[in-house]
């Protein structure tokens, strides 16, 4: 979830995964996968930065990266082939 502001300044949270696209009309409009449109105070660049930060927080804290998993699988295969 990312924090955004209504045009009156009231803050709320939006599911970052549900944002389909962002428009400037000149207000920033978030269109959700459901088709619902939200007007927000933040600029598209601020929204994008928040989405990136959210995804980094979620995906970088996973137990083990893809590279680590592939390295472990390769090492296991090497051990099995050596036997």
Give the model's confidence band at 24: pLDDT under 50 very low, under 70 low, under 90 confident, else very high: very high
Distance CA 18, CA 16 (A): 5
pLDDT digit string, tens, across residues 34-58: 999 999 999 999 999 999 999 888 8
Residue 47 belongs to what domain range? 2-82
Q: What is the CATH number of the domain that holds 69?
A: 2.40.50
Number of domains in the chain: 1
pLDDT digit string, tens, across residues 1-20: 999 999 999 999 999 999 99
For 7, phi then psi, to 5°, come to -60, -25
pTM (predicted TM-score): 0.71
């Amino acid at each position: 979830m990312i924090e955004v502001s209504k045009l009156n300044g009231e803050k709320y949270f939006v599911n970052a995964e549900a944002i389909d696209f962002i428009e400037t009309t000149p207000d920033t409009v978030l269109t959700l996968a459901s088709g619902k449109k939200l007007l927000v105070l933040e600029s598209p660049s601020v929204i994008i930065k928040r989405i990136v930060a959210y995804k980094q927080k979620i995906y970088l804290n996973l137990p083990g990266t893809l590279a680590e998993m592939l390295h472990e699988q390769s090492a296991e295969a090497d051990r099995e082939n050596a036997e």
